[in-house]
Amino acid sequence: MKYYLILISILIFSLIACKQENSSSSQRPAVLTASDAHSFARPEEVVTTHLTLDLNMNFDSKTITGTAVHTIQNHGADTFIVDTKGLMIEEVRLDDSDKSVTPLFGEEDAILGRALKIPVSRKTKTVAIKYSVPRDAAALGWLEPVQTAGKTSPFLYTQGQAILTRTWIPVQDSPGIRFTYEATIHVPPGLMAAMSATNPQQRSSDGVYRFKMDRPVPAYLIALAVGDFDFSPIGKRTGVYAEPPVVEKATYEFADMEKMVEIAEGLYGPYLWDRYDVIILPPSFPFGGMENPKLTFATPTVIAGDRSLVSLIAHELAHSWSGNLVTNATWNDFWLNEGFTTYFENRIMEALYGKEYADMLALLGYQDLQKTVEDLGKGSDDTHLLLDLGGRDPDDGMNSIAYEKGAFFLKRLEQAAGREKFDAFLREYFESHKFQSMSTAGFVSYLKENLLEPNKLDINVDAWVSGSGIPADCPVIESDRFVKVEAVVKTFIKGTPAADLPVREWTTHEWLHFIRHLPKDLNQRKMENLDATFSFSRSGNSEIAVAWYELAIRNTTPDNNYAVAIMPQIEGFLTQVGRRKYLLPLYRAMKESGRLEEAQRIFLASRQNYHSVSNNTLSELLGV
Residues annotated as catalytic are 316, 403
Q: Choose among 368, 440, 363, 378: nearest CA to 400.
A: 368
Q: Choose among 576, 516, 175, 237: nearest CA to 360.
A: 516
Contact 369, 408 (CB under 8 A): yes
Contact 264, 237 (CB under 8 A): no
Cα separation, 313 vs 362, whole angstroms: 16
> Which secondary-structure segment (H or E) carries 54?
strand 46-58
Task: Report phi then psi at 406, rounded to 5.
Answer: -60, -45
What does each C-alpha distance from 202 to 233, 235, 503 come to in angstroms? 12, 17, 45
Task: Report phi then psi at 33, rounded to 5.
Answer: -135, -170
Task: Give CA angle at 509 (422, 269), nearest 5°.
Answer: 30
Contact 590, 598 (CB under 8 A): yes
Letter string b/e over residues 150-189, b meaning 16 or more CB atoms within 10 A of that residue's CB: eeebbbbbbbbbbbbbbbbbbbbbbbbbbbbbbbebbbee
Gyration radius of the chain's alpha carbons: 25
Letter string b/e over residues 279-309, b meaning 16 or more CB atoms within 10 A of that residue's CB: bbbbbbbbbbbbbbbbbbbbbbbbbbeebbb
The full DSSP string for 114-163 is EEEEEE--TT--EEEEEEEE-TT-TTEEEE-GGGSSSSSS-EEEE--TTT
Task: Report phi then psi at 101, rounded to 5.
Answer: -110, 160
Cβ partners under 8 Å of residue 420, min gap 6: none
Contact 294, 194 (CB under 8 A): no
* 333 alpha-carbon distance from chain centroid: 14
Bridging pattern class, strands 276-280 and 295-298: parallel
Cα separation, 341 vs 317, whole angstroms: 9
Strands in 159-291 per DSSP E: 178-186, 192-195, 208-218, 224-227, 230-235, 238-242, 276-280, 289-290
Q: Map 500-561 to HEC letters.
A: HCCCCCCCHHHHHHHHHCCCCCCCHHHHHHHHHHHCHHHCCCHHHHHHHHHHHHHCCECCEC
Contact 148, 282 (CB under 8 A): yes
Residue type, 547: A
Q: What is the DSSP letter of 41?
A: -
Query: Hey, how many other C-beta atoms are within 10 angstroms of the C-beta on 108?
Result: 11
For the chain, the 3-state helix, strand and coil shares in percent, each to the nearest 5, are 45, 20, 35
Contact 140, 58 (CB under 8 A): no
